[in-house]
A and B are shown apart, each in its own frame.
Chain A
Amino acid sequence: AQSVAQPEDQVNVAEGNPLTVKCTYSVSGNPYLFWYVQYPNRGLQFLLKYITGDNLVKGSYGFEAEFNKSQTSFHLKKPSALVSDSALYFCAVRDPMNSGGYQKVTFGTGTKLQVIP
């Protein structure tokens, strides 16, 4: 069974500092990995994905994520945090080796990012 873990419920970072939001996963095959962001009273917005290729993936709003197969991690990063980055971040995984017509996406429980001015 596939799973994804976000070990931190909340991450606090000062504005201008680098930020990291952690995600680890477990799948039987090679994973498809996603990050989403949710602002208050809004739906989730797609940030970036890793399917194959370069381990460093760049996405929207200056975010990037690094796929590390040996550590089964896909941490979200940004070199310089903005107050406007404060939101709820979700990691998600899909195992393309799952049989059947639908390949389930499993979401993490979310990490609240608070950027302090």
Chain B
Amino acid sequence: DAGITQSPRHKVTETGTPVTLRCHQTENHRYMYWYRQDPGHGLRLIHYSYGVKDTDKGEVSDGYSVSRSKTEDFLLTLESATSSQTSVYFCAISDRAVSDGYTFGSGTRLTVV
């Protein structure tokens, strides 16, 4: 997906360990989002950012934190991974909050064992 990359693409980690996922964009978009995708739930918002150092919680933020120190990077940290956080994580960006569609990254498949 042009302009937005996620790393790593796949990760297996043990319960209780911290994990950081990275989202990098080259579009200079203001808004960045972290979603998780689970069967039967669609996409659920974890956290979002509306500018450098400006972040806020989404609907499923417990156990997650984020940071945005530069426009282009948005990090998602699982402070102490649990099996319930096994999921596919997507980063998305948008230039304006209101009427724009989102551009999504290719996702990170995280497995917590």
Binding site for B on A (CB under 8 A): 32, 34, 36, 41-46, 49, 51, 90, 94, 96, 101-105, 107-110
Contacts and interface: CB of A to CB of B under 8 A. Distances in A.
B40 A43 contact: no
B60 interface: no
Contacts of A41: 106-107
Contacts of A110: 42
A105 B99 contact: no
Given A32-B99, A36-B102, 6 more contacts: A42-B106, A44-B92, A90-B42, A90-B43, A103-B98, A110-B42
Nearest to A44: B104
Closest 4 CB pairs of A and B: A43-B104, A46-B101, A109-B42, A107-B43
B101 A49 contact: yes
B98 A32 contact: yes
A2 B96 CA distance: 20
Interface of B: 1, 40-45, 48, 50, 56, 90, 92, 97-99, 101-107
26 contacts: A36-B101, A36-B102, A36-B104, A41-B107, A42-B1, A43-B1, A43-B90, A44-B43, A45-B1, A45-B104, A49-B99, A51-B99, A90-B43, A94-B98, A96-B98, A102-B48, A102-B56, A102-B97, A103-B98, A104-B45, A105-B45, A107-B43, A107-B44, A108-B42, A109-B41, A110-B42
B50 A102 contact: yes
Contacts of A42: 1, 106-107
Nearest to A42: B106
A90 B1 CA distance: 17
A43 B105 contact: yes
Contacts of A108: 42
Contacts of B1: 42-43, 45
Contacts of B56: 102
A108 B44 CA distance: 10
Chain A CB within 10 Å, residue with most, of B48, B104, B105: B104
